[in-house]
Amino acid sequence: MNKPLDVAVLPGSLRKDAYSRKTANALKALAPPTLALDIVEIGQLPLYNDDLDTSTPPAAWVDFRQRIAQADAFLFITPEYNRSVPAALKNALDVASRPYGHNVWAQKPGAIISVSPSAMAAFGANHHLRQSMVFLDIFVMQQPEAYLGNIGEAFDQTGTLTSERTRAFLQRFIQSFADWTTNFCKD
Amino acid sequence: MNKPLDVAVLPGSLRKDAYSRKTANALKALAPPTLALDIVEIGQLPLYNDDLDTSTPPAAWVDFRQRIAQADAFLFITPEYNRSVPAALKNALDVASRPYGHNVWAQKPGAIISVSPSAMAAFGANHHLRQSMVFLDIFVMQQPEAYLGNIGEAFDQTGTLTSERTRAFLQRFIQSFADWTTNFCKD
Amino acid sequence: MNKPLDVAVLPGSLRKDAYSRKTANALKALAPPTLALDIVEIGQLPLYNDDLDTSTPPAAWVDFRQRIAQADAFLFITPEYNRSVPAALKNALDVASRPYGHNVWAQKPGAIISVSPSAMAAFGANHHLRQSMVFLDIFVMQQPEAYLGNIGEAFDQTGTLTSERTRAFLQRFIQSFADWTTNFCKD
Amino acid sequence: MNKPLDVAVLPGSLRKDAYSRKTANALKALAPPTLALDIVEIGQLPLYNDDLDTSTPPAAWVDFRQRIAQADAFLFITPEYNRSVPAALKNALDVASRPYGHNVWAQKPGAIISVSPSAMAAFGANHHLRQSMVFLDIFVMQQPEAYLGNIGEAFDQTGTLTSERTRAFLQRFIQSFADWTTNFCKD
């Protein structure tokens, strides 16, 4: 049997009780054995600044870049801040795309889930992320799109996913993603 | 004579020699006397995290929010990172839009200039910014749009604007912005 | 008393029973006396083609351009087709923006309502429209944004608006739009 | 040897001498033998209207849907009208995506080239198209992105591609597209 794919999961909110983090945890339980999901932290990364990107860049950048370089695939779980991507998540994208010629996101499959307490499900963040991924050369899954609106109703107080509808959707989503990765992650 | 409008100018790159900063400096010299341009720093702001937004938020957030609340108008000068807004600039937008009910950008006029060493002039960053400004309720000037491509050729080694074409455009742009503000900043 | 503003209302769907059309009709009943709303048809316009834009362009284009040139302000009510603006509405924008130098949308206030049977309320169409309006130089109202999701539940079989919540929102929206126009439509 | 893939090429402008059409012709000459490029017309399609999509829809729609259903892959060559996709091209997307459940674009590889006489190379149209393709479930190639700016300088009076730089780019682009299709078009 093959080794499972190393899937780096990036929740876009830094809040400890963020819905993006709860969704990430729920996905870990639902993923098929061909995928190994690992939540990767992004809150410790200094804001990208070319002047710091010397031969000795910030240690947090170095570690993050290594982690991303190692991964086989990516799952982005994003809330929406001001109709776009949270700065913390955009910063993670920027950090691991530099310096020029060292974009470690490139040529790997990815997928996006947007989550929001509102009905509109962070559509704006979802598609702004997609625009960046064209340049980053991440092979983003098209369907099923994943818009989790009214997300506050899907989890109980302890952070457990209690919505059967959301669970069923995420199950289908993560299986579709496993299928999608097989287009690119050849033996 | 009226007091000039207090215009907060936000360069989107943290690099010391950034073109967005050089452009900001050039604009200061070209602005009519009705506008007082002041460059506001954004690199010191911790990444937005709701958990830190308590009754005693980070001092850098408090200062920045006060500065933005005080301003009459905004000029955003943005490069493009990965076909979208640099994280540092998105973070500044997020910080001064929170906590909920305390969006200090609201109901004031603004304008966007996108700058890039490439010919495409950071179009993607320009329009992603505009999407956020709908929610932030900043009255963004529509025309003239400002796309400064091949920006590397507009300045000399000392950071002085040497392109006559760019100077003429920026002169016209800042005068149009002064006119635009009069729609909203009544006596 | 001043003459009311002539507001051209453009529903984005050509379907006879379209929700965008029902919403347009509901708005007519809710508008304050300072605004005169008039529904303008777009389905008869041939697809824009520069080769037809001679000294004798299609009659439907000529009539539509005259109608738009006459209007003081615009209300766009758009559904979403394939995560963007319906072709019929984009075509109307294109037709009245040409030939170069004869953009009859320019320098007038406008507002956007997006409507959808789904919860996500045609967010994608709403913001793609906004991007075009930058170039068209329409002064689009920022707040309140108008996303009418689950629109099928707001009207009864006869096309009458029965949702009190939607009615209250549209009432507030059209009043805000009347206020917005006063920034630009001076005596 | 396998049959070459049937690639439907859609120029977004209806103008007889459109740069999108010239670019399509140039690509035909550059494509590797594994791809058979065929230019598909879109100007004859009536504007999408659900009321016409009965059991006997317009003949032009029926023919176009059959042509798209038959194709193995798609190349979209789009100019920019008002910072977005030309109505004619958006209409083609809409027509072949309906009625619900009969989206004949789905699950096939595609790529986008944006062309413009301006330096900004129709970036806005390029990325608005991409947003629609998420929903349409077209597997759009990420890299190389294709932005052909200053396109007027690439062709001579007869419509022949004379720019060596553009020719070299298009050669590389169409080869990359051939490689991209192999991820999805299995034997």
**What is the reported pLDDT for B2?**
79
pLDDT in tens, A14-40: 999 999 999 999 999 999 999 999 999
pLDDT at C2 over 90: no
CA dist., res. D115 & res. D79, Å (int): 5
CA dist., res. A24 & res. A19, Å (int): 8
pLDDT at A171 over 70: yes
**What is the reported pLDDT for B185?**
73
* Chain B residues touching residue A81 (CB < 8 angstroms): 48, 90, 94, 97
* Chain B residues touching residue D130 (CB < 8 angstroms): none
> Would an 8 Å CB–CB cutoff place B51 in contact with chain A?
yes
CA dist., res. C5 & res. C33, Å (int): 9
Sorted by sequence, the CB contacts under 8 Å of residue D163 that are 6+ apart come out as D153, D154, D155
CA dist., res. B15 & res. B24, Å (int): 13
Structure tokens at A51: 């002047």
CA dist., res. A62 & res. C129, Å (int): 41
pLDDT at A52 over 60: yes
* Chain D residues touching residue B124 (CB < 8 angstroms): 123, 127
Task: Write down the residue that tokens 């997006």 correspond to.
Answer: C114
pLDDT in tens, A97-150: 999 999 999 999 999 999 999 999 999 999 999 999 999 999 999 999 999 999
CB atoms D120 and B124 under 8 Å: no
CA dist., res. C11 & res. C18, Å (int): 8
CB atoms B123 and D123 under 8 Å: yes
CB atoms A87 and B48 under 8 Å: yes
**What is the reported pLDDT for A1?**
55
Residue D176 pLDDT level (bands cut at 50, 70, 90): very high
Single-letter code of the amino acid located at A112 = I
Q: How far is CA A8 from CA A24, A67, A135, A145, in A?
A: 10, 8, 19, 19
User: If you average pLDDT over every residue of chain A, what do you get?
Assistant: 97
pLDDT in tens, B35-93: 999 999 999 999 999 999 999 999 999 999 999 999 999 999 999 999 999 999 999 99
CA dist., res. D57 & res. C182, Å (int): 46
Residue B1 pLDDT level (bands cut at 50, 70, 90): low
CA dist., res. B170 & res. C116, Å (int): 41
DSSP summary character for residue C1? -
* Chain A residues touching residue B87 (CB < 8 angstroms): 47-48, 87-88, 90-91, 93-94
Which chain B residue has the Cα nearest residue A131? B83
Which helix or strand (DSSP H or E) is residue B25 part of?
helix B19-30
Mean local confidence (pLDDT), C80-103: 97
What HEC string does C36-47 produce?
Answer: EEEECCCCCCCC
pLDDT at B5 over 70: yes
Give B150-170 as a DSSP string: SGGGTB-TTS-B--HHHHHHH
**What is the reported pLDDT for B50?**
97
Please write down the long-range contacts of C160-165, taking CB distance under 8 Å and 24 or more positions apart: C161/C22, C161/C23, C161/C26
Structure tokens at A144: 């099923």
* Chain A residues touching residue B102 (CB < 8 angstroms): none
pTM of this structure: 0.97
Local structure of C118: helix, strand or coil: coil
Structure tokens at C82: 């394939």
Which chain B residue has the Cα nearest residue D147? B120
User: If you average pLDDT over every residue of chain B, what do you get?
Assistant: 97
Instruction: Taking the CA atoms of D78, D79, D81 and D87 in sequence, report the sign of the dihedral they define.
Output: negative
pLDDT at D119 over 60: yes
Which chain C residue has the Cα nearest residue B131? C127
CA angle, residues A120, A118, A151, in degrees to nearest 5:
105
- Residue percentage of chain D with pLDDT more than 90: 97
pLDDT at C82 over 80: yes
- For residue D41, count CB atoms less than 10 angstroms from its CB and return exposed for 0-12, middle for 13-18, buried for 19 or more: middle
CB atoms D135 and A127 under 8 Å: no
Question: Which of D120, D127, D147 is the closest to B147 by Cβ?
Answer: D120
CA dist., res. C183 & res. C140, Å (int): 12
- For residue B45, count CB atoms less than 10 angstroms from its CB and return exposed for 0-12, middle for 13-18, buried for 19 or more: buried
Structure tokens at C21: 């059309």
Question: Which of B14, B83, B135 is the closest to A131 by Cβ?
Answer: B83
pLDDT in tens, D22-37: 999 999 999 999 999 9
Structure tokens at B148: 């400064």
Determine contact, residues A20/A117, Cβ cutoff 8 Å. no
Distance of CA A102 to the CA centre of its chain: 20
Q: Count the helix, strand and coil residues of chain A and give each as a percent rounded to the nearest 5.
A: 40, 20, 45
User: If you average pLDDT over every residue of chain D, what do you get?
Assistant: 97
pLDDT at B21 over 90: yes
From B130's Cα to the closest Cα of chain A, the distance in A is 10
Mean local confidence (pLDDT), C126-147: 98
CA dist., res. D37 & res. C63, Å (int): 40
